[in-house]
Amino acid sequence: MENTRARRIKIFDTTLRDGEQSPGCSMHINEKLDVAEALEALGVDVIEAGFPAASEGEAKAVKEIAAVVRRASVAALCRCRKEDIDKGWEAVKDAAHPRIHIFLATSPIHLEYKLRIDEETAIEMIRTHTLYARSLCEDVEFSFEDATRTPHDYLARAARTALQAGATTLNFPDTVGYATPAEMKEMISYIRANVEGIDRADIAVHCHNDLGMATANSLAAAEAGASQIECTVNGIGERAGNAALEEVVMAIRTRKDRYRMTTGIATERIYRMSQLVSSIVGIKLPPNKAVVGKNAFAHESGIHQHGVLANKATYEIMSPKDIGVPENALFLGKHSGKHAFSELLEEMGYSLTPEQVDAYFPRYKEIADRKKEVTRGDIDALLSGIFRRRVKRLYSLKDYEVTAYKNSASALISLEADGKIHTDRMTGDGPVDAGFKAINSLTGQNFKLVDYQLHSVSEGKDALGEATVKLASPEDGKIMTGKGISTDVLEASLIAYINATNKLLQED
């Protein structure tokens, strides 16, 4: 039963901004679009799409995201500078619901050492830039960076200034992940008691997880009256990351008896959303990650298993179904046809066009030919590895032959590009090293391998291997993540390397 007095909390997702700008999490523009569409389907209220003043590529990505998102608001982050606000507005102005998000630090340490301005100057900057942003856009969020290390009276003055200048959301970030839940409550309560007219605006918090308190801090602020929580999928973000969307949302839902709040999130899409982001940024979740970790619903000990069998509620506070964890039952074999395949995709919650089903079906058949049974986990891996908006395949793997003995290996690789086949042989310390070197030689690139991981997607000796490769461009240091999936781990690795190469060669 939904509590009728429940307060609606807005979920502001910054996976594409705070998450994307964290180390090793860069996304290709096509991947950003996939994430944005998935976030919209998930039901977030605001999608922070990026920081348009950062680069041309970033501005273009924000503009394209603004064009595809229809229901959620699309926010562009801007420093307190007119040029930033102009670029931000240019990027989001065609969105169905555009938002300009401006920030300025207010803490003494930031004012003195980073901005080198005094308190009065900061107040004036808040006033003039909020007024300017409001002259362009009806929806303006102002963030008082490092709010949790700002004296309450000055913070309230800054908030009053932004509110009077027309800001519609006031955000009080725990930028450095320093606050405790009790302090968050005190800060929000102080602001509500001392900023006249604050109820006209949304009060937001943006908490970082440096001390592992981001989710607790966000919820404490909401209890004190905050109406918008900023978070990221899987908690990715600067340093230790942000409050995790899945944790915030599931805590509100599971403990609605206590919080008396709701969100607009379709929780049964959480698991797939989490997998999509993990797959794109190439960061595996720890098995014990709250809500979405592999073991989050596993009951290993005999006593726990016994209890769960007798009554799930003994040890389960949420059901895996609530977040859409697929049951890993066997379902299709090599003789299943396209119809059965497309029905299953539908049942699993994938809405693909007939053309997309046609495009994925051969890959499915390939896997079905090599494995006796194809599981839902395999399907998830297949679909998360091949995104809806494909990055154009400049190069694709045509053939490979690798021989290895102890610490030396030789790889003969054939790549297809522009309808032509190119072949080269290289030696290396091992089969993977030799293969990667041959690919670099064929593409004429000097890309540097910064991370390489192999995981098995499902269980058993014929499980699919999933390779993740992070490659850096020596010119600008840009890093892209490539993935490859195959029953052969070497093939998966080569595909992942080529995939990352293709992304680096056509960044925007």
Positions in the binding site for Mn ion (CB under 5 A): 18
Q: Which is nearer to Mn ion, 177 or 181 (CB)?
A: 177
Q: Which is nearer to Mn ion, 18 or 466 (CB)?
A: 18
Residue 5 CB, nearest distance to Mn ion (Å)? Answer: 32
The span from the CA of 351 to the CA of 239, in Å, is 35
Instruction: Write the CA distances from 44 to 35, 60, 68, 246, 273, integer angstroms.
Output: 12, 22, 15, 11, 12
> Residues with Cβ < 8 Å from 413, sequence gap 6 or more?
397, 399, 400, 423, 424, 425, 426, 435, 438, 439, 442, 494
Residue 360 CB, nearest distance to Mn ion (Å)? Answer: 36
Residue 19 CB, nearest distance to Mn ion (Å)? Answer: 9
Q: Which is nearer to Mn ion, 18 or 141 (CB)?
A: 18
Q: Which is nearer to Mn ion, 15 or 481 (CB)?
A: 15
Helices first, then strands: H and E counts in the chain: 17, 18
The CB-side HSE value for 499 (13 A sphere, CA atoms) comes to: 25
Q: Which is nearer to Mn ion, 236 or 382 (CB)?
A: 236
Neighbours of 442 (CB within 10 A): 19
Both tokens of 292, joined, read: 């979405």
SS3 content of the chain, % helix, strand, coil (to 5): 45, 20, 35
Residue 100 CB, nearest distance to Mn ion (Å)? Answer: 17
Q: How many residues does the chain have?
A: 508
The span from the CA of 334 to the CA of 43, in Å, is 36
Element (H, E) at 289: none
Residue 302 CB, nearest distance to Mn ion (Å)? Answer: 43
Q: Which is nearer to Mn ion, 241 or 385 (CB)?
A: 241
Q: Is 351 left (phi over 0), alpha (psi -120 to 50) or beta?
A: beta
The span from the CA of 295 to the CA of 293, in Å, is 5
Q: Which residues pair with 375 in a beta bridge?
A: 330
Residue 206 CB, nearest distance to Mn ion (Å)? Answer: 6
Per-residue HEC secondary structure of 187-239 comes to: HHHHHHHHCCCHHHCEEEEEEECCCCCHHHHHHHHHHCCCCEEEEEHHHCCCC
Q: Which is nearer to Mn ion, 18 or 64 (CB)?
A: 18
Q: Which is nearer to Mn ion, 13 or 18 (CB)?
A: 18
Q: Which is nearer to Mn ion, 64 or 145 (CB)?
A: 145
Residue 417 CB, nearest distance to Mn ion (Å)? Answer: 40
Residue 287 CB, nearest distance to Mn ion (Å)? Answer: 26
Q: Which is nearer to Mn ion, 18 or 247 (CB)?
A: 18
Nearest alpha carbon to residue 66 among 26, 30, 33? 33
Instruction: Write the CA distances from 278 to 2, 43, 268, 335, integer angstroms.
Output: 31, 19, 17, 31
Both tokens of 423, joined, read: 């072949």
Element (H, E) at 108: helix 108-109
Q: Residue 282, SS3?
A: coil
Closest residue to Mn ion, based on beta-carbon distance = 18
Residue 320 CB, nearest distance to Mn ion (Å)? Answer: 30
Residue 451 CB, nearest distance to Mn ion (Å)? Answer: 23
